[in-house]
Amino acid sequence: MRLKDKNVLITGGASGIGLATAERCLEEGANVALADLAGSQGAARATELDARYPGRCLFVAVDVTSTKQVDQMIATTVKELGSLDGVFNNAGIGGLSPADTYPDEEFLHIVDINLMGVFRVARASLHQMYSQGSGSLVNCASILGVFGQSMTAAYSAAKGGVVNLTRTLALESASKGVRVNAVAPGYIDTPLLSLLDDATRQALIQMHPIGRLGRSEEVANAALFLLCDESSFVTGSNLLVDGGFTAGKS
């Protein structure tokens, strides 16, 4: 098993990519702290997973816009599991608006969760990992951290920040036994996309040369690779999981 006896924290774990990653980590032998908002389905999902993998999955409530809650999440995870071997820093939200009418508060809210939230989790995780002398931190970026797209000023700015934050943290942590990488998903077939009309969905599919949307478990497999020792010489990377979306762009 690729993560046997490793202790992994996953934020945004109640659904979609986060939940799929929690399942893959459990399948590969990890103990998992599944973190999400207190009012989310995270507690129920963790209970379901723990029934399948007894004693190996717990829920930790967190709002990543709160430094206090993030620091407590790390402390609780370490107290319950004993160490912090891996973190999938995945909590995030979307948002669409024309840049010329984007309200400050909405823009800042998206940046606070998608960039500052990633930083808060990274900072607290690295503090713990440095004390251990080991660990793997995987941030969830996006294809829109590499290329822009209309109506996504806040989201693209935040995810672009995550990509360069990842590189910077990788440089800082390399001498301390810690690796930092990112995954950059294309459009993934999650419940959020089920709200789209058929024409919009087909337009998204056509953006991917592979001819379909991605699946949550495909991103989870990429995150798993970066979390486990198979990627021991990989740090500072941004692994595109995008069905060829970015291959023809420069």
| Residue 155 is among the residues annotated as catalytic for this protein | yes
Instruction: Say how many residues make up the chain.
Output: 250
Q: Which positions ≥6 away from 230 have C-beta within 8 Å?
A: 2
Alpha carbon of 86 to those of 31, 73, 122, 129, 139: distances in Å? Answer: 10, 14, 11, 9, 11
Catalytic residue among 53, 102, 155, 187: 155
**What are φ and ψ of residue 168, in 5° steps?**
-65, -45
List the Cα angle 127/132/137 in 5-degree steps: 60
Distance of alpha carbon 11 from the chain centroid: 7
| Residues marked as catalytic | 155
